Structure 1
Amino acid sequence: MKKIFFGIFSVIIILVVLVFSLRIYNDHKYKDINALNFPEYYKDVTNISLYPTDINGVDVTYVDEGRMQGFRFVPKEKSHKGLVICFGGSEGSPNFENAKILAKEGYETFALFMFGMKNQESTLTKIPLEQFDDVINYINKNIKDNKPISVLGASKGAEYALNLACKYPEIDNLILISPSSYNFAGLDFKDYGSSWTYKGKQLPYIDIKKSSFNSFLKNIIVPTIIKSPISYKESYKSAIEQDSSSQEKLIPVKNVKA
């Protein structure tokens, strides 16, 4: 019995030492990535006061128009027609940085929140596509030179932007960063469901809870423990493969006129 106990204890000690050794090694290996300085507002993306709105050559104002919540950037010297509407990802930011960069290049831009602000869903789940109605109404009322309308989305914001373009012919151009061809579940696991709704109904979605456990363990859990880069791609790919009706969850790209 003592030998069994000693053997188990030895294995545990070896695993603990191995994990800590890998954490130290990965801290050193990925130190440049870990040292990246993210903007201050990433500490709380919903705190408007953290966003640096004093930008040389660009007037920045906050727009509070129903479900349209975010920043408007107007270059003092606008050199491009129309406007660009930017959305961030699952972190909940309005993609302030891309909107700022484009505004400094002479584009009128918006950095808009998808969720988490006044009149919006509090978390990334069941977000109504119709909240874009308030954006279109604001543009038509307040901006004369408003065509073409381009929408830029990153990650989850790219999924959102592609869905918007399926429903809103007013959108002329799409810029999608790390997009998806499928609709996936939202990221509120207490109020679990589709990321998006339209006319009161949830859009069919891939259930990420049904991804392969081995993939989840290998690409997310273990990297988290040993401080190596996390990869979500394989888990999402696995969830698609596990779904026998995955074709119904594809975003209808053929409907897009942009």
Structure 2
Amino acid sequence: MEPKIHEKPGPRIEIASRNVIMDKKADIWVRGFESHSHVDVTAETVDDNGRKWQSVTPYTLNPQGCLEIAVAESEGERFDDIDPWEIFDSMRPVDLPGGNVPMFAKTTTEPLLVDISATAPNGDSARSSLRLHVFDDATTIREEVREGTLQGTFFCPKGDGPFPVVICLGGSDGWFTEPRPALLASHGIATFSVAYFGGEPLTEELSEVPLEFFDRAVAWLEKYSAVDTKRMGIYGYSKGAELALLLASRDKRIRAVAAYSPSSVVWQSPNGGATKSSWTAGGVPLPFVRMHLSGMKIMKIMTGRPVAFREIYEQGMEKHPEQTEAAHIPVENISGPVLLVSGTEDGVWPSGEMGDAIEKSLKEAGKDVIHLKYTGAGHLTTLPGLPAPEVRDTLIFGGTSKKSSRALEDAWKNMVAFFTTNL
């Protein structure tokens, strides 16, 4: 029998695990190509709305024809200037080449299948794939809550509790979301994503929304033995950040607050018609600041052109200082520490400046606050590890997708540590 010949494997992509939690960096190696070869690494996936996204990232391999896109150094192959998130968050819609980056639709807890390939000018190529998860049913419980005006989804780590819990609030669509709470729950923190408007049996519009929905959510959690409501935090983004800060300023049970793209005041309802407050307490509308709509903004809205609402809010505060004072969210009454996340180029509203005002009020009251203010980032709401939007339909988010993506990745890591430390 002739001896078996062991040939060196050819070009290949090796992935340490084909199932990765989305906020973890995947260990990916490109190997077996020619020394110092130039390769294009392509990543492709389809979002939850069926839109195809793709990135093509050029790299130069080392003398061994290898490249490591990974977290930890290993085998001396790592290039220090390699960004391990780049192939994921630089993906762009195939049907919108060169345009403003839209919202990457991630609305379910289903994993994203990402196909990865590497090609060299001499024709060498390799392919592989992995799945990015926000939820792992082996380690986390998911429970739907549909009890009248209490609508949401609860996620809880499996194992010995009780666990700290964070109530999660979405943006101006008002309904509960699942990917972010599911991802946060993978870090040993129970989460309860709760709707506050947006459909039956709740009010349809973001107008005079009763704050009492929060009491119903806490009452439900208090019956759940696996969580400890004495270690309860709250997390919201955009309009949900305004709401999170408002609730925490009125409820001592909330021990820590994370607010992405926050507001320092209560704003009017963004709906058309009669000008009303966004919120009520005990049936009484809360004081609010009116937005200032110029004729040009109205024309852009009516004609469906892209619009940045930032100056509508800025001019509202400038033209109505008495309303701004009356509608101030009394963050100085918040019991625990506060984490603020904002971008300097937020096109939706001036979250950076409003975050500064919140930070100032908290520091003057002797409260603990961290303000992560990212230069060049826009309206920060989305998941880490995915392309951040520059626009959502005709709403301009501001900033660049790259800078916003980096900000979201850093902010998420800090938020997980913030809740882990303070709850």
User: TM-score, structure 2 length as denominator?
Assistant: 0.46
| Paired residues for 1:165-244 under 5 Å | 165-190=248-273, 192-208=275-291, 210-213=292-295, 216=297, 221=301, 225=305, 230-244=307-321
Residue 98 of structure 2: which of 26, 29, 38 is its match?
29
The aligned counterpart of 2:143 is 61
Distance of 2:194 and 2:183 partners within structure 1: 15
Distance of 2:220 and 2:175 partners within structure 1: 21
What is the number of equivalent residue pairs in this alignment?
214
3-state DSSP of counterpart to 1:234 = helix
Residue 214 of structure 2: which of 128, 132, 155 is its match?
132
Query: 2:243 corresponds to which letter in structure 1?
Result: Y
Distance of 2:227 and 2:141 partners within structure 1: 17
Residue 253 of structure 1: which of 325, 331, 339 is its match?
331
The aligned counterpart of 1:9 is none
CA offsets per residue over residues 8-61 of structure 1, 9 Å max, x none? Answer: xxxxxxxxxxxxxxxxxxx65325x13x530356xxxxxxxxxx9884532211
Cα distance change on mapping 1:232 and 1:80 into 2, 3 Å: farther
Contact 2:170 2:236 in 1 (8 A): yes
By how many angstroms is 1:254 displaced?
1.6
Query: 1:29 corresponds to which letter in structure 2?
Result: G
3-state DSSP of counterpart to 2:154 = strand
The aligned counterpart of 2:181 is 99
3-state DSSP of counterpart to 2:163 = coil
Residue 111 (structure 1) aligned with residue 193 (structure 2): yes
Cα distance change on mapping 1:60 and 1:81 into 2, 3 Å: closer
Gaps of 5+ in 1: 1-26, 42-51
Query: 2:318 corresponds to which letter in structure 1?
Result: E
By how many angstroms is 1:129 displaced?
0.9
Distance of 1:191 and 1:138 partners within structure 2: 35
Higher relative contact order (CA 8 A, sep 6+): 1
Contact 1:66 1:134 in 2 (8 A): no
CA offsets per residue over residues 112-142 of structure 1, 9 Å max, x none? Answer: 1111244421211101112211112112222
3-state DSSP of counterpart to 2:223 = helix
Instruction: Compare the two structures and name the one with the higher helix fraction.
Output: 1
Distance of 1:54 and 1:123 partners within structure 2: 33
3-state DSSP of counterpart to 1:39 = coil
Cα distance change on mapping 1:102 and 1:54 into 2, 3 Å: closer
Residue 38 (structure 1) aligned with residue 105 (structure 2): yes
Instruction: Compare the two structures and name the one with the higher strand fraction.
Output: 2
Gaps of 5+ in 2: 1-95, 109-133, 337-423
Output the aligned Cα RMSD.
2.8
3-state DSSP of counterpart to 2:277 = coil
Structure number with greater Rg is 2
Distance of 2:137 and 2:204 partners within structure 1: 29
Cα distance change on mapping 1:118 and 1:54 into 2, 3 Å: farther
User: TM-score, structure 1 length as denominator?
Assistant: 0.73
Contact 2:266 2:327 in 1 (8 A): yes
